[in-house]
Structure 1
Amino acid sequence: MRICAFIGDMYRDYSSAIIKILQRESAERGHQLDIFGNCAVPSENPLHAEGLKSILSLPDLTLYDGIFLCSDTLNHAGMNKKLLDNLRSTETELPPIISLRSAEEGFYNILPDNRQLMYEVARHVISLCKTDDIGFVTGRDDLKDSFERRAGFEEAMREMGYDINEDLVFHGNYWVNQGPETADFFIREDGSLPKAIVCSNDYMAWGLIDELVIRGYKIPQDVMVTGIDNQPTSDKRIPSLTTSEISEETLVRIALNSLEKVVAGEEISKTIHVPGHLIIRESTGGTTDRDINEAYSLLDYMQKEYYGKALAFVILNSDYGESLSYSDAIDITLDYLSDTRLFKRCFLVRHLENDREIIGYCDGNGKHVERITFPADRLLPVYFDEERTIVRIYLPIYYKNVVYGYTVLELDPDAEQFIDEKIEFTIMLFGQTLNRLDLYEKLFEAEDIMDLYIRDALTGVYNRRGFENSISPLLKNDDENRPKIAVASIDMDRLKYINDNFGHSAGDEAIKAIANCIGSTLNEGEFVARMGGDEFEAVLILDSNERIGHFIRSFRKAIEEANEKLNAEYTLSASIGICEVADWNSLMDSMDKADDAMYIEKKIKKNRDLL
């Protein structure tokens, strides 16, 4: 079978688990799976989300044997409504649609028994507290499962003979960021808390526990806290969280079994409820045999991993900020996607007026920046679509309401994960960069922008950014036949003396003269950059053993000739240090060695002047 799935928030625990299990089960059963959705929604502005929604209308649904719908993962910025409207308004007959975890009218529904999940947790808490002094945190008021979970809590309270106190009901949002607000709501004027607080999911329980601990409370000694859904780190937190769950494995298997039966012509129930089970842990006084030091070490590792991802975003943002052409942006994107080693193949596809076009892809043989046009009624060209038991994720390439195309990520079945924040950052920044480059083209000539960005305004030679852009291809090329290169650190002598005695305009003329002297001695393929002030860096191609010596002699000769032409009250002079560069990783070390050699010459000149 060929299956289409719509899933949002792909790097979140639930969505990630669903995709991983779908991938494994589809491979075992011989199904092909295409997944369309998003990693996250960077803005709640409805105009900014239009580009994100484009992925929902990308596939031709009539080509599939079945559709899986995880609509509760697409509930940001109207994405869920857009998708449901598309599905219900189509005039063509669609294959069977199965909704996981969220009841959608007109479709088959595989649903957790939310009432039962909460009932089991609430009964456990009430039996421990033996009081009605129990707080409750609802889920989002616009979601049906939130009301179902509240119904389970209320049923357990009534069965135990207690009334619901609305003053102890806080309306939550299903996310961790309401911890401080939730704590403020439940902490009384005397500093006391309810005996227990039952949260409608684990995320809200985490946020509340973290905030209470910061304020000096102990869990469960001062208050018991529970969640629902058993998110992956709920057993690793301190204290570990009492919760309940329906395993994603169970949901996916029931969904696949149901689809296979419907496709085979069997009748099945329109709604299947899946029961869960209670998991008792430390947050309600449950015992554990885990090593507390090991638990703290794990939390420390998770914190460092979080900071590592934040740093990755900073580096990514910087790299994309340096790109000045579409090919640069494509190169960066393919490099980052291939470096993750999570995918068998990755494709960048751009929409054309009447067709679609691959603008670059990477596979086991490296990256390929080439353009391949194919019909708009296909997601990829035919020759990339031969394997049948394959899982692909389709994510939009967009910026706000402007849609450029989509990314296709072909999952590697051996990879431990497949989507994380770095993937999201990469695709998001790629879209932003395409938008910036489009704007440049509209406002300026491309060459003018390039010159403004990579050239020094005074001398016309490269600036530091131009140096980095130009040397990268020479060193990142893995070709064994690439030419050997050397860096020459060149520092103008006595610039301060010229500025102080003859004025800064004279100093500027002297700097330009030195730049011209360097440029006049370079061969084809070599270049020079002004790195700042009176400092220059030249890159020499060592096509012969005499190249370094020839450059030094030619440069000295050029300075002599410049002094004759200038006929100034000062004399141009510069110090040089040169070092060969082996590879990209040794570039900075080679530049430092060239600097050291240059400063030795400069020091010798100063000592000679003193004598």
Structure 2
Amino acid sequence: MVKGRIAVLLGQGDEDHQEKFITGAMKQAFSAGYDVCVFSMYIKYQNTPERDKGDSEIFNLINYDMFDAVIIMSDTIQVPGLIDRLEEDISKKFSGPVICVDRDSKYFKSFWTDGYQLVYSIVSHLIEIHGMRDIAFLTGKKWHRHSQRRLEAYIDCMEAHDLQVRDDRIFYGDFWYTSGDGCADALLSQGRKMPDAVACANDCMAIGLINAFEKRGIKVPEEIAVTGYGTSEEGQTSPKPLTSTYIPSEYYGRYSVECVLAMLRGEDMPDKKTPTKLFIGSSCGCEHDKSNYTTTLRDTWETSDSTDGFLSIHNLIQEDMLKENSLKGFFEVVYSYIFQLGEVDGFHLFMNENNNTFGYSDRVLHAISYHADKDNDNSISVTEFVKTDLMLSELYEQHAQPKGYIFTPIFFEDSTHGYAVVSYGDVPRSYDSEYRLWITAVARGLEAVKRNIELMRLKTFVTNTNTFEKRFVSRVDTPNMAAVTEEERNEMETVERILIENSLTYVFQPIVEAKGGTIFAYEALMRSGIPKLSPLKILKYAESLGRLGDIEKSTFINVLGIIEENEKLFEGKKVFINSIPGISLEDSDREKIVKGISKNSDRVVVEITESAEMEDEDFKRFKHFTRDNGVKIAVDDYGTGYSNISNLLRYMPEYVKIDRALITNIQNDMNKQHFVREIVKFCHDGDIKALAEGVETSEELAMVMNLGVDLIQGYYTARPNAEIIPEIDEGIKSEIVRNHQDFENKNTKSIYNSGRSGRINLGTLVKEGYSSIEIRGENVTYRDITIAGAPGIKNEIAINVVDGYYGTLT
């Protein structure tokens, strides 16, 4: 049974030193019965203060009450001032043992991995094996403890061998390649004999120095020997492998855990016994010992390409994330690519509540929960919120074997979106560079999706504002007549006269079927006969005069009269009549309208705006008025403003007219396309016909048809006309037929043929309109196929295995 938990704080957990340190710490902790939770920045320090803030926010997640001990790799956390703030914060919140690595702390005990013994041994190698006497030393920054201690080792070793230590043979750098170039210039500018060798305080400076020498025609090691420190892969694989020292990083990790466990027992820290080992290359003059050269071997025969991993040319995670316009869709994409993480035991993604981006919110959304061996526990959620101070509920569950958990931030610049947790179970290891690339790609993808969502909200807000102004210009309070202009007074008097005389006229705009371009219906549109008096002005003045009832009465009576007078022209066609909800009519008027409707119930469609908010009594009257007379209902202007599903469920219409604000330039706006596609899908699921109104260009027509609308209305297909036209323009009709054929062909092509990749994501196929998968064995690149879905997401898609197929399906 697990005894407790140890927290490890560091930066850049996939760098070689930190990676091996974590491995050692986990091995020691696991053997003692402790879980290890690593909290890691992605880089030791970022290149801007904003990114520093975002990356380092992971340390503010830590609930120290959950831990028995804390280990801080202080020198890997290099954000200015951060380590001081961290130590002070921990001293206030945590009373258990804390050990700081590579930093003297005023609050906690510490130890150094300064490499004194390692430098001493490599300088001794130059003296004792190669007989060198004149040796220079290139150390790091003068103020840094590592620089000082490695310089001390050089001086002590030289003096122990009775060799002179000259001031002009000591050089300071900054542990980077360019320091080597500077050292070469300094040596050559002295005008003296070159030293026998230069020992460097790390491999980076040694590589820079050798490169500088060779550019100046100085051969290494024939003319001068050079050694490094740290045995990096770059040094080992250099044209002449760099003689260097191994850093016992794994030992330091084990030792740090030994220290905090000793403190838990009330004992002193054990003595540090740093092991030393050299990598013998040829830069010192030795013959390269190839048996001492270690190549990192893969654990399995699988490669990134063979498994469509993150580094594979077939990796499309970023493209798939950028296609999403919703968080749920984004989470589904991320979940579908967890396989790229390889042999992980678990992965979790947590997101801040309410789009909070400053630190961590009190609650976080547990968006993704993945366990390699617990399929039933895997989930994707946009509703499951947990307390942030729990960090990960799994930590509280009893488990027989200790495990490691690695927490990293999800951020963009200085905005904190959440955090991720990856676990390799009881395997002692850190994350690797591939995981870092993967999870930072997820963070960037999330930022892009959030911007897409915000852009959609902004567009909706602008559209709603414009729509609100248009819709409600007629719903203002009765104007103060003294404030009314002479022109408005005249217009109001004209409207009153029109209503008294019932001289409103009507034009009819065709509503066209998307299947073949035939006219399905007409919408009756009110006109005054006076160019300056638009329908909106008529409604405005009618409401001011308290005569909206006259508009309602006149519209129904007049339009029904036109239908009866032109029965043959309207034969087989619907007529959409606009209604003003909540208007009470005189009994005699209502009876007259009902009588006319009952004769034409198979033709009349009553159209109400989606924003109409009727009181319960008004709604009951409206429902009786339509349903009792067999009249169909159309909801107008759906998709912006007050749009909600509850309105549709309340009205249960036969037709939904998608607001023209969503249709305008839809071919250039993926957000609008996404909205309209979802509206059409909802309509079709409820046996409702979807009508695109306001179609004014050929491009808009093609796009709405491609999205599956049933009916089309707009100036492009046919303008409103006082005449009842039997057909639309033949050229437009032919265009509609062609578009419909393209749409049908697209649907018939909804069969996804396998073989293009080794992994098929069901969620992506469904979103792209595929309804079935055909598994083929001939003329394909991939025969072995993995078909993956997401937990809790049902995808209705058929799988057909073609005769003759051979391969593996999982």
Q: Give the TM-score taking structure 2 as reference length.
A: 0.52
Residues 122, 51 of structure 1: alpha-carbon distance in 2 compared, 3 angstrom cutoff:
same
- Give me the whole-angstrom Cα distance separating, in 1, the residues matched to 2:446 and 2:394: 27
1:49 alignment partner in structure 2: 52
1:359 alignment partner in structure 2: 367
Residues 126, 514 of structure 1: alpha-carbon distance in 2 compared, 3 angstrom cutoff:
same
Deviation (angstroms), 1:349: 1.4
Residues 523-552 of structure 1: per-residue CA shift (max 9 Å, x gap): 89xxxxxxxxxxxxxxxxxxxxxxxxxxxx
Q: What pairs with 1:503-514 in structure 2 (closer than 5 Å)?
A: none
Residues 381, 412 of structure 1: alpha-carbon distance in 2 compared, 3 angstrom cutoff:
closer
- Give me the whole-angstrom Cα distance separating, in 2, the residues matched to 1:204 and 1:469: 57
Deviation (angstroms), 1:370: 4.5
Pairing partner for 1:460 from 648, 652, 666:
666
- Give me the whole-angstrom Cα distance separating, in 2, the residues matched to 1:405 and 1:16: 23
The one-letter code matched in structure 1 to 2:21 is I
1:394 alignment partner in structure 2: 407
1:421 alignment partner in structure 2: 433
Q: RMSD of the alignment, in Å?
A: 4.8
2:268 alignment partner in structure 1: 267
Q: What pairs with 1:328-477 in structure 2 (closer than 5 Å)?
A: 328-352=329-353, 353-364=361-372, 365=375, 368-381=380-393, 385-387=397-399, 389-413=402-426, 418-439=430-451, 445=457, 460-461=666-667
Answer yes or no: is 1:62 the counterpart of 2:65: yes
> Is the CA contact (8 Å cut-off) linking 1:335 and 1:367 kept in structure 2?
no
Helix, strand or coil at the partner of 2:389: coil
Deviation (angstroms), 1:408: 1.1
Deviation (angstroms), 1:519: 6.1
- Give me the whole-angstrom Cα distance separating, in 1, the residues matched to 2:675 and 2:223: 59
- Give me the whole-angstrom Cα distance separating, in 2, the residues matched to 1:199 and 1:5: 30
The one-letter code matched in structure 2 to 1:419 is Y
> Is the CA contact (8 Å cut-off) linking 1:177 and 1:207 kept in structure 2?
yes
Deviation (angstroms), 1:248: 2.5
Larger helix share, 1 or 2? 1
1:542 alignment partner in structure 2: none
> Is the CA contact (8 Å cut-off) linking 1:399 and 1:428 kept in structure 2?
no
> Is the CA contact (8 Å cut-off) linking 1:514 and 1:572 kept in structure 2?
no
Helix, strand or coil at the partner of 1:274: coil
2:730 alignment partner in structure 1: 564
Residues 51, 463 of structure 1: alpha-carbon distance in 2 compared, 3 angstrom cutoff:
closer
The one-letter code matched in structure 2 to 1:39 is Y
Deviation (angstroms), 1:94: 1.7
Residues 113, 274 of structure 1: alpha-carbon distance in 2 compared, 3 angstrom cutoff:
farther
The one-letter code matched in structure 2 to 1:6 is L
2:290 alignment partner in structure 1: 290
The one-letter code matched in structure 1 to 2:37 is D
Helix, strand or coil at the partner of 1:377: helix
Deviation (angstroms), 1:183: 4.8
The one-letter code matched in structure 1 to 2:363 is D
Pairing partner for 2:33 from 7, 25, 30:
30
- Give me the whole-angstrom Cα distance separating, in 1, the residues matched to 2:292 and 2:51: 45
Deviation (angstroms), 1:565: 5.7
- Give me the whole-angstrom Cα distance separating, in 2, the residues matched to 1:253 and 1:292: 24
Deviation (angstroms), 1:118: 1.6
The one-letter code matched in structure 2 to 1:380 is L
The one-letter code matched in structure 1 to 2:284 is T
Helix, strand or coil at the partner of 2:666: coil
Residues 221, 64 of structure 1: alpha-carbon distance in 2 compared, 3 angstrom cutoff:
same
Residues 464, 43 of structure 1: alpha-carbon distance in 2 compared, 3 angstrom cutoff:
same
Residues 86, 260 of structure 1: alpha-carbon distance in 2 compared, 3 angstrom cutoff:
same
Answer yes or no: is 1:121 the counterpart of 2:122: yes
- Give me the whole-angstrom Cα distance separating, in 2, the residues matched to 1:309 and 1:200: 35
Equivalenced residues, count: 502
2:481 alignment partner in structure 1: none
2:20 alignment partner in structure 1: 17
Deviation (angstroms), 1:14: 0.6
2:498 alignment partner in structure 1: none
Deviation (angstroms), 1:410: 1.4
> Is the CA contact (8 Å cut-off) linking 2:134 and 2:195 kept in structure 1?
yes
Residues 330, 384 of structure 1: alpha-carbon distance in 2 compared, 3 angstrom cutoff:
farther
Give the % identical residues: 18
Deviation (angstroms), 1:238: 3.6
Deviation (angstroms), 1:236: 4.4
Answer yes or no: is 1:82 the counterpart of 2:85: yes
- Give me the whole-angstrom Cα distance separating, in 1, the residues matched to 2:237 and 2:44: 28
- Give me the whole-angstrom Cα distance separating, in 2, the residues matched to 1:346 and 1:224: 48
Deviation (angstroms), 1:71: 1.0
- Give me the whole-angstrom Cα distance separating, in 1, the residues matched to 2:675 and 2:209: 48
Pick 1 or 2: higher relative contact order, CA cutoff 8 A, min separation 6: 1
Considering only CA atoms, is the larger Rg found in Structure 1 or Structure 2?
2
Helix, strand or coil at the partner of 2:267: coil
The one-letter code matched in structure 1 to 2:154 is F
The one-letter code matched in structure 2 to 1:460 is I
Residues 335-373 of structure 1: per-residue CA shift (max 9 Å, x gap): 444421242111111234432331222222366344422
> Is the CA contact (8 Å cut-off) linking 1:46 and 1:78 kept in structure 2?
no
The one-letter code matched in structure 1 to 2:282 is E
> Is the CA contact (8 Å cut-off) linking 2:325 and 2:674 kept in structure 1?
no
Residues 170, 331 of structure 1: alpha-carbon distance in 2 compared, 3 angstrom cutoff:
farther
- Give me the whole-angstrom Cα distance separating, in 2, the residues matched to 1:53 and 1:468: 36
1:280 alignment partner in structure 2: 280
> Is the CA contact (8 Å cut-off) linking 1:61 and 1:94 kept in structure 2?
no
Residues 45, 461 of structure 1: alpha-carbon distance in 2 compared, 3 angstrom cutoff:
closer
- Give me the whole-angstrom Cα distance separating, in 2, the residues matched to 1:179 and 1:312: 37
Residues 126, 291 of structure 1: alpha-carbon distance in 2 compared, 3 angstrom cutoff:
closer
34-43 or 170-179: which moved more? Answer: 170-179
> Is the CA contact (8 Å cut-off) linking 1:197 and 1:224 kept in structure 2?
yes
Q: What pairs with 1:512-591 in structure 2 (closer than 5 Å)?
A: 564=730, 566=732, 580=749, 582-583=751-752, 585-586=754-755
Deviation (angstroms), 1:261: 2.7
2:619 alignment partner in structure 1: none
Deviation (angstroms), 1:55: 1.7
> Is the CA contact (8 Å cut-off) linking 1:50 and 1:401 kept in structure 2?
yes
Deviation (angstroms), 1:31: 1.3
Deviation (angstroms), 1:32: 0.9
Q: Give the TM-score taking structure 1 as reference length.
A: 0.67
> Is the CA contact (8 Å cut-off) linking 2:44 and 2:77 kept in structure 1?
no
202-211 or 30-39: which moved more? Answer: 202-211
Answer yes or no: is 1:249 the counterpart of 2:262: no
> Is the CA contact (8 Å cut-off) linking 1:392 and 1:411 kept in structure 2?
yes
> Is the CA contact (8 Å cut-off) linking 1:394 and 1:407 kept in structure 2?
yes
Residues 314, 38 of structure 1: alpha-carbon distance in 2 compared, 3 angstrom cutoff:
farther
1:543 alignment partner in structure 2: none
- Give me the whole-angstrom Cα distance separating, in 2, the residues matched to 1:518 and 1:265: 73
1:100 alignment partner in structure 2: 101
> Is the CA contact (8 Å cut-off) linking 1:6 and 1:36 kept in structure 2?
yes
Residues 202, 467 of structure 1: alpha-carbon distance in 2 compared, 3 angstrom cutoff:
farther
- Give me the whole-angstrom Cα distance separating, in 2, the residues matched to 1:262 and 1:208: 44
Residues 263, 444 of structure 1: alpha-carbon distance in 2 compared, 3 angstrom cutoff:
same
Deviation (angstroms), 1:34: 0.8
1:599 alignment partner in structure 2: none
Deviation (angstroms), 1:12: 0.6
